[in-house]
C-alpha cells in the first residue's frame, strides 16, 4: 500500500469510528445519559461519570470552557458520582479544551492509541507455551479470578477496586460480551474482553492484561486471535481498541493501524 492509499484507509477507518462508535453504542451499560449541547454526560453503575461526544460542533474556546463547567456541575450535583472521565480524542477540533479541563480539576492520564483494522487480519493460529490453555469464561468464580489478575497487573487492590462486580453487572446486561482467559497450572495469566457493538460493524478489544513473567511469549496475541475469530463469526468487520504502548505493537503486527489518540481526563470528588 502506498502512502496516499494508507492515508485514505486511515481516513476511512476514522470516519467509521466517529460515525458508528461515538454514539450511544459507546456506552451500552449506562444507567443514565444527559445531553448538554454536543456532549453526552453518562452515569455508569458504581458512581462513575463519563463525558463523550461525536464532535464539539466547531465550538470556540469560551464555549468549550462553558461545556466543561456545566458538565462538572452536573456530576457534582449527583451525590452518587465519585469520579468522572472526560474522554478526549487527538483528531478533534477542541480549542482550549486541555486548559479548561485542568482548570476545573480534571487530571490528564496517559494517552493511548486508537487502533482499528479488519477483524480477519487478526485471525491466526498462534502457538502457545507448553501448559497454557485458552478458554471463554462465564462463571462468577472465573470472572473474579480474571478480574483479580488484571487488578494485580495494573496495581489495584482486588478487594476494593470493584472491577469484578462491574464486569459481572455488565455480563448480566450485555450477554454478547465475551470474557477470555489464558491459564497455566490453574492460574489466570492473561485475559481480555470482546465487546461486539450492536448495530455497527465493530467489536472492541478491551481489558487486555498479562502477568509480567508470561509476557513476550505470544499469549496476548493468541487471546487476541481467539477474540478476532469470534468477532468474525458474529459478522463483525472491524476490531477497535484503545491501546497502551505495550499492546499497540502486537496489534500493529496483526494488521491494525493507529488512526488517532485518546487521552482520558479524570476528576475525583
On whether both 100 and 137 belong to a single domain, the answer is: no
pTM for the model stands at: 0.86
On whether both 141 and 179 belong to a single domain, the answer is: yes
On whether both 121 and 77 belong to a single domain, the answer is: no
The pLDDT value given to residue 2: 46
Quick check: 265 pLDDT over 50? Answer: yes
pLDDT in tens, 18-52: 999 999 888 877 899 999 999 999 999 889 999 99
Q: The domain containing residue 46 runs over which residues?
A: 31-108
Listed residues 64, 90, 108: the one ending a domain: 108
On whether both 173 and 255 belong to a single domain, the answer is: yes
Q: In sequence order, what are the residues at sequence separation of 6 or more whose Cβ sits closer than 8 angstroms to the Cβ of residue 249? A: none
Listed residues 53, 76, 108: the one ending a domain: 108
* Mean of per-residue pLDDT scores for the chain: 93
Residue 178 belongs to a domain? yes
pLDDT in tens, 121-146: 899 999 999 999 999 999 999 999 99
Q: Calculate the CA 266 to chain-centre distance.
A: 15
pLDDT in tens, 80-125: 999 999 999 999 999 999 999 999 999 999 999 999 999 998 999 9
Listed residues 108, 136, 154: the one ending a domain: 108
- CATH of residue 137's domain is 3.40.630.30
The pLDDT value given to residue 7: 61
On whether both 37 and 147 belong to a single domain, the answer is: no
On whether both 133 and 221 belong to a single domain, the answer is: yes
On whether both 223 and 90 belong to a single domain, the answer is: no
Amino acid at each position: 500500500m502506498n502512502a496516499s492509499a494508507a492515508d485514505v484507509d486511515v481516513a476511512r477507518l476514522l470516519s467509521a469510528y466517529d460515525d458508528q462508535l461515538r454514539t450511544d453504542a459507546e456506552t451500552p451499560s449506562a444507567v443514565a445519559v444527559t445531553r448538554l449541547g454536543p456532549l453526552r454526560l453518562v452515569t455508569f453503575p458504581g458512581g462513575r461519570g463519563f463525558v463523550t461526544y461525536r464532535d464539539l460542533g466547531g465550538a470556540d474556546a469560551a464555549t468549550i470552557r462553558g461545556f466543561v463547567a456545566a458538565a462538572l456541575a452536573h456530576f457534582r450535583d449527583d451525590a452518587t458520582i465519585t469520579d468522572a472521565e472526560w474522554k478526549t480524542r487527538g483528531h478533534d477540533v477542541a480549542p482550549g479544551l486541555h486548559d479548561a479541563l485542568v482548570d476545573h480539576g480534571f487530571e490528564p492520564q496517559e494517552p493511548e492509541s486508537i487502533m482499528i483494522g479488519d477483524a480477519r487480519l487478526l485471525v491466526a493460529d498462534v502457538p502457545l507455551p507448553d501448559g497454557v490453555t485458552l478458554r471463554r469464561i462465564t462463571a462468577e468464580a472465573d470472572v473474579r479470578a480474571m478480574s483479580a489478575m488484571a487488578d494485580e497487573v495494573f496495581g489495584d487492590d482486588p478487594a476494593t477496586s470493584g472491577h469484578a462486580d462491574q464486569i459481572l453487572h455488565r455480563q448480566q446486561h450485555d450477554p454478547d460480551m465475551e470474557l477470555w482467559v489464558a491459564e497455566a497450572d490453574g492460574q489466570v495469566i492473561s485475559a481480555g474482553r470482546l465487546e461486539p457493538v450492536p448495530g455497527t460493524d465493530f467489536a472492541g478489544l478491551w481489558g487486555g492484561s498479562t502477568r509480567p513473567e508470561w509476557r513476550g511469549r505470544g499469549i496476548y496475541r493468541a487471546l487476541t486471535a481467539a477474540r478476532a475469530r469470534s468477532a468474525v463469526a458474529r459478522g463483525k468487520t472491524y476490531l477497535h481498541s484503545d491501546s497502551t504502548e505495550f499492546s499497540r505493537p502486537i496489534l500493529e503486527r496483526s494488521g491494525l493501524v493507529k488512526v488517532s489518540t485518546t487521552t482520558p481526563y479524570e476528576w475525583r470528588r
